[in-house]
C-alpha cells in the first residue's frame, strides 16, 4: 500500500471484509447486529464463516463487566465454522474445511507451553486486546476471548483452529470449542477423577454437565450433581449423575449420607462464586481434591482459615480450559463423541439467530437452559 494513501483508503484496504456481527458497545448494554469490517487475512491467518456458536457463561461475564473486555467488542468463543480464505503460509487447510475455533492459541515457545501446560500460554489469549475489525464509522473492534463468533465471519491465526472430521456434526464441534472440553477436561485432565470415586459438581450449566460426563467416563460411581434450579435434574441424570441434589440447607446432610459421612473425593465448583466455592470445599472429604472451574470476579474474596487449609489437607486447584491442549487432545474428544461415551446433544436447549443473543444471555443469567446454538451465517445442514 502506498504511504501516500489517505486514511480512508488505508482502512478500506486493511479491513476489506464486511460482515454482520452482534456488537457490544457498553458494559451491560445490548449487543446490536451491525456491519463490521474484518481485517485482511494475514499470511498465517484463516478467515472462517461461523456456522454455529454456543452462548457461554463467560460471554455473560464479559458482557456484564465481571470479566474485563475492551469495547466495542464482538463476543462469542464456542464455535464451529468453515474456512473461506487462507493466508499464503497456511498449507494444511483449504477452503470448505470445517474447524473448531479455539480461545487459547498456544505460542509453543513460552514457559508454560514448553512445560506441558499450553492452556496457560503467556500470550494465548492476548489477541482479545488487539483490534481485529472496524465499525462502519471506523472505531476499532475487539474479539471477545480472541474469537468473536457472534458474527458471520472472523479472522484468526491458523493455530487458533482445529480441523473437524467429516463424521462429527457442526453442532457437536461447536460445543467442543469451550464447555465440553473444559468440563470433561476438568474431570479427566485437571482432577484425574479415579475409578470408583465419589464426585460432587456444583453448577449445572454446559461446563458442569460436561464435568458429570467426564466423571462418568472416568468411572466414578457416586456422582452428585447440585444446582439451584430443580429443572436441571433430568439433564444431570442423563449426563451421568447418580444423584441430583437441590442447592438448599439439606445439601450437606445429603452429601454426607451418600459418602459414608466423609464428603466427596472430588469436588468441582462450576459457578465461580464465593458461596459455591466454600460449599464445594466443605463438601469434599479430608484429603480430597477441589477443582475450581467457574470463573470468579477479581473482587470476590473467598475466606479460608489457616487451620482448615492445614487440617483438611485438601488440594484446591484452578482449572483453565480443562487443562486441555486442543491440538493434541481433540482427537480423543472426537472419538468419545463417535463412540457415544460423550453425548453433546443433551446440552443443547435452544437454537437462535445472531439477533437473539441478548435474550439468550438473559436466560443464562437467570439459570435457565444450558446451551443455545446461534447460527450467525445462516442455515447449517450438518
Ligand atoms: Zn466458554
Ligand atoms: Zn505459549
Q: Check pLDDT > 70 for residue 4.
A: no
Dump pLDDT digits (tens) for 140-154.
999 999 999 999 999
pLDDT score at 1: 38
Q: pLDDT tens, 55-112?
A: 998 999 999 998 899 999 999 999 999 999 999 999 999 999 999 999 999 999 999 9
Classify burial at 138, counting beta carbons within 10 Å of its beta carbon; exposed 0-12, middle 13-18, buried 19 or more: exposed
Report d(CA 247, CA 267) in Å as an integer. 14
Question: Ligand 1 centre and the CA of 358: distance in Å?
Answer: 16
Ligand 1 center from residue 96 Cα (angstroms): 25
pLDDT above 70: residue 336 = yes
What's the 77 CA to ligand 1 centre distance in angstroms? Answer: 6
Beta strands in the chain (DSSP E): 17-24, 31-38, 45-54, 73-74, 78-86, 98-101, 133-135, 140-143, 153-157, 161-163, 198-202, 222-227, 243-246, 264-269, 284-292, 315-318, 348-352, 371-374
CA of 119 to the centre of ligand 2 (A): 8
- The pLDDT value given to residue 320: 95
Cβ atoms within 10 Å of 331's Cβ, excluding its own: 12
Report field, pTM of the whole predicted structure over 0.85: yes
- What pLDDT digit, counting tens, does each position of 14-39 carry? 999 999 999 999 999 999 999 999 99
Dihedral, 235, 239, 245, 248 alpha carbons, nearest 10? -60
* Band of pLDDT at residue 5, cut at 50, 70 and 90: very low
Q: What is the pLDDT of residues 183-212, one digit of tens each?
A: 999 999 999 999 999 999 999 999 999 999
The answer to whether residue 330 scores a pLDDT higher than 90 is yes
List pLDDT tens digits, range 241-267: 999 999 999 999 999 999 999 999 999
Which ligand neighbours the alpha carbon of 111 most closely? 2
> How many angstroms separate the alpha carbon of residue 117 from the centre of ligand 2?
9
List C-alpha distances in Å: 330 to 92, 141, 178. Answer: 17, 30, 12
From CA 176, how far away is CA 194, in angstroms rounded?
Answer: 23
Percentage of the residues of the chain whose pLDDT score is greater than 90 = 90
Say how far residue 135 (Cα) sits from the centre of its chain.
26
Q: How far apart are CA 270 and CA 88, in angstroms?
A: 41
Mean pLDDT over each residue of the chain, to the nearest integer: 94
How far, CA to CA in Å, does 75 sit from each of 60, 207, 337?
9, 18, 27
Amino acid at each position: 500500500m502506498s504511504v501516500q494513501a489517505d486514511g480512508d483508503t488505508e482502512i478500506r484496504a486493511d479491513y476489506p471484509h464486511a460482515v454482520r456481527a452482534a456488537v457490544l458497545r457498553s458494559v451491560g448494554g445490548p449487543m446490536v447486529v451491525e456491519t463490521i469490517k474484518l481485517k485482511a487475512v494475514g499470511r498465517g491467518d484463516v478467515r472462517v464463516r461461523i456456522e454455529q456458536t454456543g452462548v457461554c457463561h463467560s460471554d455473560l461475564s464479559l458482557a456484564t463487566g465481571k470479566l474485563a473486555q475492551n469495547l466495542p467488542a464482538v463476543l462469542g468463543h464456542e464455535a464451529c465454522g468453515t474456512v473461506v480464505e487462507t493466508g499464503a503460509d497456511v498449507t494444511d487447510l483449504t477452503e470448505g474445511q470445517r474447524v473448531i475455533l479455539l480461545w487459547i492459541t498456544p505460542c509453543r515457545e513460552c514457559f508454560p507451553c514448553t512445560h506441558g501446560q499450553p492452556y496457560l500460554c503467556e500470550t494465548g489469549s492476548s489477541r482479545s486486546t488487539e483490534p481485529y475489525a472496524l465499525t462502519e464509522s471506523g472505531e476499532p473492534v475487539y474479539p471477545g476471548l480472541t474469537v468473536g463468533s457472534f458474527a458471520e465471519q472472523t479472522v484468526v491465526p491458523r493455530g487458533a483452529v482445529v480441523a473437524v472430521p467429516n463424521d462429527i456434526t457442526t453442532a457437536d464441534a461447536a460445543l467442543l470449542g469451550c464447555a465440553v472440553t473444559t468440563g470433561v477436561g476438568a474431570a479427566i485432565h485437571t482432577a484425574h477423577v479415579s475409578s470408583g470415586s465419589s464426585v460432587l459438581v456444583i453448577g449445572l450449566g454446559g461446563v458442569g454437565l460436561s464435568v458429570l460426563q467426564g466423571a462418568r467416563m472416568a468411572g466414578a460411581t457416586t456422582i452428585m450433581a447440585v444446582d439451584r434450579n430443580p429443572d436441571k435434574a433430568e439433564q444431570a441424570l442423563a449426563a451421568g449423575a447418580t444423584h441430583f441434589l437441590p442447592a438448599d440447607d439439606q445439601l450437606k446432610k445429603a452429601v454426607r449420607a451418600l459418602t459414608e459421612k466423609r464428603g466427596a473425593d472430588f469436588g468441582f465448583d462450576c459457578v465461580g462464586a464465593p458461596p459455591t466455592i466454600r460449599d464445594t470445599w466443605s463438601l469434599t472429604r479430608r484429603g480430597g481434591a477441589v477443582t475450581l472451574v467457574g470463573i470468579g470476579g477479581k473482587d470476590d474474596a473467598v475466606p479460608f482459615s489457616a487451620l482448615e487449609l492445614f487440617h483438611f489437607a485438601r488440594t484446591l486447584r484452578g482449572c483453565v480450559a480443562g487443562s486441555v491442549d486442543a491440538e493434541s487432545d481433540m482427537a480423543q474428544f472426537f472419538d468419545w463423541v463417535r463412540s457415544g461415551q460423550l453425548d453433546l446433544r443433551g446440552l443443547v436447549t435452544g437454537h437462535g439467530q445472531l439477533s437473539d443473543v441478548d435474550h439468550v444471555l438473559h436466560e443464562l443469567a437467570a439459570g435457565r437452559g444450558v446451551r443455545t446454538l446461534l447460527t450467525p451465517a445462516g442455515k447449517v445442514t450438518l
